[in-house]
Amino acid sequence: MNKAKKILYSQKVAPFVFSLPFCISLLVFWLYPLVTGILMSFQTVDFGVTTWVGFQHYKKLSADPFFKTAVFNSVEYMVLTLLLLVPIPMLLAVLIESRITKARGVWKIIMYIPALTSVVISGMLFRLMFSEGDGSQMNQLMHLLGQSSIPWLKSKGTGWVALLLLCMWRWTGVNMLYFVSGLNGIDGALYESADIDGTNPWQKFWYITLPLLRPTTVYVITISVFAGLSMFLESFMLWNGNSSPKNIGLTIVGYLYKRGIETNELGYACAVGVVLMIIALVINFIQLFATGTIGFKKKGE
């Protein structure tokens, strides 16, 4: 007993003991489902009976117009959210951490509160705000501007305005706090030296803040790519289901849900999931290489 206790409390064994729960959960809840999903993408699954079909699902995907629409929508949504949810939170973080801002903690709390709201509740609220009835908040605003009511969620242009505003409302504060954390890691002596040299605020932001925020920026871009490509519930709640007009709100995960849950084609749905994983990994590897986060270094560097 003493020997076992001595081994358990030894400095060599203790790290493995503490990391064991994480390793087990990683294997059970991530690696096993991943491998199983990849295998199922080569099979048809019917009430527990599996049949190996090879690349049949992937060939079907290549000619599936609904899947192509879902991929285009997801990639477009990802690009637009990157354009909105990287620079805007960064500028807000710089503004909140500047000397002119008072009660910084209060502003941080206010900006973070929307992230605590359920996606279901948020989607329902935005659906009511952007409904086509004359009594909806957005149409009342249009009336104040002398315009007629708009069926916001029935066309892609106005429907995506609602979708992107919902995304910004929920996640701007979260990304802002990431950038605030990055700003707090920058040595204040650099700004003091810049002040002595007579630099203006724009020069300090461009030559000090932006380069030193690079690790945080890469992290925010990476998680935003995955979040953008995997978006589903926001669209599902905004259009009150998985069937939007002309599939303007159909995403890859939405299509996976439609084929896997609604029509019980689990093998085909797994193929959709594998393609989504590949797209997300390829895009993130490209941006990591482009930002110099990963890559081959020359000798002597």
Question: Which residues contact residue 22 at a Cβ distance below 8 angstroms, ignoring those fewer than 6 apart?
Answer: none
Q: Does residue 47 lie within any of the structural domains?
A: no
Q: Does residue 48 lie within any of the structural domains?
A: no
Rounded to an integer, the average pLDDT of 85-99 is: 92
pLDDT tens digit sequence for 156-185? 999 999 999 999 999 999 999 999 999 999
Looking at the fold, whether 149 and 14 belong to one and the same domain comes out as: no
**What Cα–Cα distance (Å) separates residue 7 from each residue in 12, 22, 230?**
8, 21, 44
**What Cα–Cα distance (Å) separates residue 77 from each residue in 116, 156, 224, 277?**
22, 12, 11, 16
CA torsion sign for 8, 13, 19, 20 is negative
**Domain carrying residue 65:** 55-290
Specify the number of domains making up the chain: 2
Q: How many CB atoms lie within 10 A of CB 256?
A: 22
pLDDT score at 181: 93
Looking at the fold, whether 187 and 284 belong to one and the same domain comes out as: yes
Q: Is the CB of residue 41 less than 8 Å from the CB of residue 270?
A: yes
* Burial class for 98, CB neighbours closer than 10 Å (0-12, 13-18, 19+): exposed
Q: Does residue 110 lie within any of the structural domains?
A: yes
Residue 251 confidence (pLDDT) above 70:
yes
pLDDT score at 45: 85
Percent of the chain with pLDDT over 90: 65
We report the CATH number of the domain holding residue 87 as 1.10.3720.10
pLDDT tens digit sequence for 97-120? 888 888 888 999 999 999 998 999
Residue 300 confidence (pLDDT) above 70:
no
Residue spans of alpha helices (H) in 48-136: 56-62, 65-85, 87-96, 104-116, 119-129
Rounded to an integer, the average pLDDT of 136-144 is: 92
Looking at the fold, whether 26 and 96 belong to one and the same domain comes out as: no
pLDDT score at 195: 85
Q: What is the distance between the alpha carbons of residues 41 and 273, in angstroms, rounded to a whole number?
A: 8
DSSP state of 259: I
Q: Does residue 137 lie within any of the structural domains?
A: yes
Q: Does residue 71 lie within any of the structural domains?
A: yes
Looking at the fold, whether 21 and 110 belong to one and the same domain comes out as: no
Q: Is the CB of residue 226 less than 8 Å from the CB of residue 284?
A: yes
pLDDT score at 90: 95
Q: Does residue 297 lie within any of the structural domains?
A: no
Rounded to an integer, the average pLDDT of 235-262 is: 92
Q: Does residue 146 lie within any of the structural domains?
A: yes
Looking at the fold, whether 36 and 168 belong to one and the same domain comes out as: no
Looking at the fold, whether 162 and 206 belong to one and the same domain comes out as: yes
pLDDT score at 156: 92
| C-alpha angle 247-231-141 in degrees, rounded to nearest 5 | 70
Residue 65 confidence (pLDDT) above 70:
yes
